[in-house]
Structure 1
């Protein structure tokens, strides 16, 4: 199993958003929601237009079965509103070209992110990188590991710090100091 990493560089995130926006509005919105909500890829792909009409997304998480409310930041809400303006309320948000009204698959989402990784020469990037990117930046903006732990449904702050790559960053800094 490959361990994916968050995208730590904010300038790189901006470049990826620009790239995806140019390629496909659907893929851009998928990336934007993924890095700004922390939802798992299966939960993102299950969203329909009606689910993103308000400021919050109310979702029953596929993995945990827990109901969760996730607020959309204003810039994200504006982009989503533009994206769904002419879509039917029952339409999947990330609709596949296959079938009548089916969402893209997790495999397709992975393919989209692999294309991004190739374009930007990134390693260890996958679907879970969206959620980890959210967590990493949430932690660095708010410096509240307990709040983030609850948002990600983790049971321990240490798990959350390891999950978002903060512990690895700390280890890498210590290793760089070694010069025997």
Structure 2
């Protein structure tokens, strides 16, 4: 959904703690699988027990088939981390307790109506998540798509690889992926600082022919404005600084 924002790890923990009631496990499972795999809400609601639980254990890789992917463009496999696997285990146990049935063809996220044969609706998913976001006291535009964006943003923050994020989301164009990712100004500032050639600047009079000495008050002031500690450069009798640059 356009304009929705992602959640960070602390917010994910807050929301996960806000589900309650007889469908607490189902609702928390939907949320945790969403932020752990980046699945669209339509993909998540289309999952069946057998898609996530095989050989009596949670899958380690989840296949989203192109038949339920938006536009039917591409199938993709997404690794399932420990959060996702725990959610699957809880869901399977809940199915057994509530319905005495965890058959592989049953909807993983069943409707409240009936005995678990019908899947949960998108509207219900929206309402369930909205209540959890509100209970957690979170601000900003949050909706079902925030789960997918949370996965994308956290994966990008850890890898810095937009093409990996593109593949995990199943986007045909990296331009679409770019729209999912917010700008973390603090990270950008740190990265830009690391690009600085300050490491190539030596403030010393001990270097030999490999260095070039420049007295430049303008440069001194510029470096000072940028936050460099140049106090040890100033001579009590001078207002200029000697900046030694490697040739």
Question: Structure 1-normalised TM-score?
Answer: 0.83
Please state how far the C-alpha of 1:68 moved relative to its aligned partner: 1.7
1:139-178 correspondence to structure 2 within 5 Å: 139-166=156-183, 169-170=184-185
Q: Paired residue for 1:96, among 103, 111, 128?
A: 111
CA contact (8 A) 1:117 1:123 kept: no
Q: In structure 2, how many angstroms separate the alpha carbons of the residues matched to 1:163 and 1:12?
A: 18
Please state how far the C-alpha of 1:130 moved relative to its aligned partner: 0.5
Q: In structure 2, how many angstroms separate the alpha carbons of the residues matched to 1:41 and 1:79?
A: 16
Partner of residue 19, structure 1: 18
Q: In structure 2, how many angstroms separate the alpha carbons of the residues matched to 1:27 and 1:80?
A: 12
The question of 1:64 aligning with 2:96 is answered no
Please state how far the C-alpha of 1:84 moved relative to its aligned partner: 0.5
CA contact (8 A) 1:25 1:83 kept: yes
Please state how far the C-alpha of 1:122 moved relative to its aligned partner: 2.5
The question of 1:125 aligning with 2:132 is answered no
Q: In structure 1, how many angstroms separate the alpha carbons of the residues matched to 2:52 and 2:166?
A: 24
CA contact (8 A) 1:2 1:124 kept: no
Q: What's the Cα RMSD here?
A: 2.2
CA contact (8 A) 1:51 1:58 kept: yes
> Per-residue displacement from partner, 1:117-174 (whole Å, max 9, x unpaired)?
32224221111110001001010011111111122233444432322223xx55xx99
The question of 1:43 aligning with 2:48 is answered no
Q: In structure 1, how many angstroms separate the alpha carbons of the residues matched to 2:143 and 2:90?
A: 27
Question: Structure 2-normalised TM-score?
Answer: 0.62
Q: In structure 2, how many angstroms separate the alpha carbons of the residues matched to 1:123 and 1:152?
A: 23
Q: Report the 3-state secondary structure (helix = DSSP H, G, I; strand = E; otherwise coil) of the residue aligned with 1:19.
A: coil
Segments of structure 2 that go 5 or more residues without pairing to the other structure are 54-58, 97-101, 190-247
Which structure has more helix as a fraction of its residues?
1
Q: In structure 2, how many angstroms separate the alpha carbons of the residues matched to 1:142 and 1:134?
A: 12
The answer to which structure, 1 or 2, has the higher relative contact order (CA under 8 A, 6+ apart) is: 1
CA contact (8 A) 2:29 2:90 kept: no
* Greater radius of gyration (CA): 2
Which structure has more strand as a fraction of its residues?
2
